[in-house]
Amino acid sequence: MRNNELSAWTLLVASAVLGSVTMLSLSGCKPPAPTEVDVSTGEYVESNTTASDSNVTTTTSQAIETPVPVDAPATTELSAKDAPATNNEAPAATDVTAAATATEPVADTSAEVVSSGGDWPQWGGTRERNNTPGVKNLPLEWNIGKFDRRSGDWDDTKAKNIRWFSNLGSQTYGNPVIAGGQVYVGTNNGAGHLKRFPSKVDLGCLLAFDEKTGEFKWQHSSEKLITGRVHDWPLQGICCSPLVEGNRLWFVTSRGEVRCLDTEGFYDDEDDGPVKDEMVSLAAIMNAGPSAEAFELALAGLAEGKLTDAAKAALAASGAEVEGDVKIETLTEGKSWTATGKFDGVDRVLTIKQIGPRIKFFKKLGTSDKRDADVIWVYNMMGPDMGISQHNMCSCSVTSYGDLLFVNTGNGLDESHLNLPAPDAPSFICMNKNTGEVLWTDGAPAKNILHGQWSSPTVGTFEGVPQALFAGGDGILYSFRADKGKDGKPELLWKFDCNPKTSKWVLGGEGTRNNLIATPVVYDGLVYIAVGQDPEHGEGEGHLWCINPNMRGDISRTLAMKIGDDGKRTLIPHRRIQAVEPENGEVEVDNPNSGVVWHYSMLDTNGDEEIDFEEEMHRSIGTCAIKDDVLYVADFSGLV
C-alpha cells in the first residue's frame, strides 16, 4: 500500500484516536431531533417490538470450544516502572491453577496485535484497551473531496488519502474494528442498507464492509424496544464496538442482548446455529393515515385466503416481490396466517400477524439472505433470568480471555434518575463465548449506581494473575480473577473508589461525585482510568488515576470513617450520595492499603501559586492512550 493512500486500517486508526477522546457521548436525557434519520423526508418510524419478542435466552453446548494450547503464555506485559511494592499484609495470590483459569491463546497476545499493524479486532485493539496501534507511515493529511448527500455521489477529484467510502447512519458511536478482511461498525439505520428497513425506520445496526473496497456485506438489525427512550434511546443505534475472533463476532445490542454472529454471514451458504431460521420483520401495513384503507383491504383479503395488491406492494417495497401464486393458510382466525410462495425468487413461507394497528409480515432468515447477519446465539440480559434495566442504552464493548467473555450489563436508573428498577440485577457478567452460558455474575454496585453503566471491561495479567477490570456505575473500579468463578460467583481481587470520599452526587450535575464511563487501560503492569461525568449531566470533577493492580482488598486512596464519642474509628460502608458526611462526625482518612501510584487532578505547572484553567483536570469520559510512556487523554473542556 502506498504511503499516501488511506486504507480501511488507517481509517480505523483515525477513529481510534477520536475514540480515545471519547468512546461514547450518549445523548443523555435530552430528546434528539428525529430529522437526521432520513434527509429526504425528515421523518422516522420506530420499529418497536414487544418485550416478549426478545425475552428469550438461547444457548446451547453444541458449539465447538476454541482449542487453546495448554502451555500458552499469559499476555505479554512490560515490567512496571517504579511501581510501589505489593503490600505485605495483602499479598497477591499467584497460585492460579490451569483448571480454574482460562488459558490465553498464543495468537492473541496484546503485544502481537499492537505491533503487527494488521487487524484491530476489538475496542482498543486488545483486551488491555490501550488505543495505540503500531502502524508506521500513516498519512497526516486528508481531503474527503466532495460528497453530494442528496444523490450519494462522491467526487474524488481533489480527494487525498481516501481509498473508499461507505454510508453509515446519521449517528455513529461504535468505533470500527477490523478483522479477517472486514470492517465492522455500530451505527443507526440512517443509511438504509436493507430494503425491508428503509432509512426512516429507527434501528440499531451493526454493519460489515469489505476492508479493501468498502463494499457493504451484511447488517445485523436490532429493532427498537417498545419501552422507547427509557431503555433504547431514539437514533443512537449500536453504541459499542464488537469483538472478533476467527469467524465469530460478539457484541451487545441496543435491546440489552449479548449476541454471537458468524462473520461470514450467509456467504458461506450455511445457517450456523444454534439459532437457525431466525424470524425477522419483513413489512407492515398500518391502520392509520393513507394506509388505513390498504389495511382493511389486506385484512379482508387474508380472511378470504388472498394476498391483496396492497399487501403485494408492501412486500415488494421490502425486497420480497411476489412471483406467481401465493397460498394463504389461517393459523388463528382474524389474527395470524402463513403465505407460501416465491418471494424475490426464493421459495418461502411467510408468517402474517395482526398486531394492534398493524398487519406485520415476517420471514425466516436463511442462506438466501446474504445482506443479513447470521446469528449463532443470543442471551437477553433483560430477560427473566437476569432482569437488568439499562438506562437509555446498553453500550458495552465486550472483551475475552480464552473462552471467557466479559460484559458490563448496563443496569441503571429509570427515567426519573431516582429509582433503580432492578437493584438485584448483576452489573458484571462472565460468559462462555462459544455457547452463551453465563458462568458468573456480580452486582457489586447494586443500590449505589449513580446513573447508568456504560463502561467496557478490560483484562490484564499481573504477576501471573489474569484480572477482569470493570468500571462500576458507583464510581468504583473492580477487579475480579479472570476465570470461571465458583458457584456462579467471581473472586473479587480488589476495588478502588475513583471519587474522593467527601464528593457528593447531586442530581443535575451540580455535585462533585462521578460515575465511570471511560474504559480502564493496562500499560506496563499498571492500570489507568480517567473520571468524569455524563456530558448531559453537568460538570463534575476530573481525576486521572494510576493504580497498582497487585494489591488486594480495598485499595482506594482513602477510607470513610465514623468517629465515635470515645474517639474510636469505625469503617463506614460505601454510600451512594456521599461516602463521608463531615457534619455527622465522619472523616476521610488515608488508606494504609492504598494502591495509588499517582493521581492527577490539578498542578501549578507555571509556579504562580494559582491553578489556571489549563492546569486542572476537567471531567472526562475519554479512555486514555499511552505510547512510549506518554499518556494522552482528552477532557470535556477541550484540553488534551
Q: Determine the Cα–Cα distance for residues 203 and 223; give it in Å rounded to an integer.
A: 5
Please report, in angstroms and rounded to a whole number, the separation of the first and last CA atoms in the chain.
Answer: 32
Identify whether the C-beta of residue 394 lies closer than 8 Å to the C-beta of residue 254: yes
Strand partners, 45: 201
E-strand stretches of 365-411: 374-380, 399-401, 404-408
Identify the H or E element spanning 312: helix 309-317
Strand partners, 481: 467
Mean pLDDT of 370-399: 93
Q: In this model, does residue 174 exceed pLDDT 50?
A: yes
E-strand stretches of 35-192: 45-46, 146-147, 154-155, 177-179, 182-188
**567 or 297, higher pLDDT:** 297
Q: What is the mean pLDDT of the chain?
A: 81
Q: In this model, does residue 379 exceed pLDDT 70?
A: yes
Identify whether the C-beta of residue 199 lies closer than 8 Å to the C-beta of residue 179: no
Cα 521 from chain centroid? 16
pLDDT tens, residue by residue, 501-511: 888 777 766 67
Q: Determine the Cα–Cα distance for residues 467 and 475; give it in Å rounded to an integer.
A: 19
Does this model's pTM top 0.85? My answer is no
pLDDT confidence tier of residue 448, bands split at 50, 70 and 90: confident
**247 or 617, higher pLDDT:** 247
Predicted local confidence at residue 202, as pLDDT: 94
Task: Return all residues near 609 (Cβ < 8 A) that are at least 6 apart.
Answer: none
Q: In this model, does residue 293 exceed pLDDT 50?
A: yes
Phi, psi (degrees; rounded to nearest 5) at 441? -135, 155
Q: Determine the Cα–Cα distance for residues 249 and 451; give it in Å rounded to an integer.
A: 29
Identify the H or E element spanning 340: strand 336-343
> Which of 68-77, 119-128, 215-224 comes out lowest in average pLDDT?
68-77
Predicted local confidence at residue 528, as pLDDT: 97
SS in 3 state form for 102-126? CCCCHHHCHHHHHHHCCCECCCCCC
pLDDT tens, residue by residue, 517-553: 889 999 999 999 988 766 666 666 788 999 999 999 9
Cβ atoms within 10 Å of 60's Cβ, excluding its own: 14
> Which of 35-49, 286-300, 368-382, 417-431 comes out lowest in average pLDDT?
35-49
Predicted local confidence at residue 111, as pLDDT: 66
- Burial class of residue 618 (count of CB atoms within 10 Å of its CB; 0-12, 13-18, 19+): buried
pLDDT confidence tier of residue 600, bands split at 50, 70 and 90: confident
> Which of 207-221, 355-369, 515-529, 610-624 comes out lowest in average pLDDT?
610-624
Mean pLDDT of 17-34: 42
How long a stretch of residues is the chain? Answer: 640
Identify whether the C-beta of residue 54 lies closer than 8 Å to the C-beta of residue 499: no
Q: In this model, does residue 241 exceed pLDDT 60?
A: yes
Mean pLDDT of 128-151: 88
pLDDT tens, residue by residue, 57-103: 444 333 333 333 333 333 333 333 344 333 333 333 333 333 333 44
Predicted local confidence at residue 45, as pLDDT: 52
Task: Report the share of the chain in percent with pLDDT over 90.
Answer: 54
Q: Determine the Cα–Cα distance for residues 578 and 572; give it in Å rounded to an integer.
A: 11
> Does 274 sit behind a cis peptide bond, omega within 30 degrees of 0 on the bond before it?
yes
Residue that has been written with the C-alpha cell 476454541 in this structure:
66
The domains located in the chain, with CATH, are: 8-64+120-278+371-554 (2.130.10), 280-364 (no CATH)
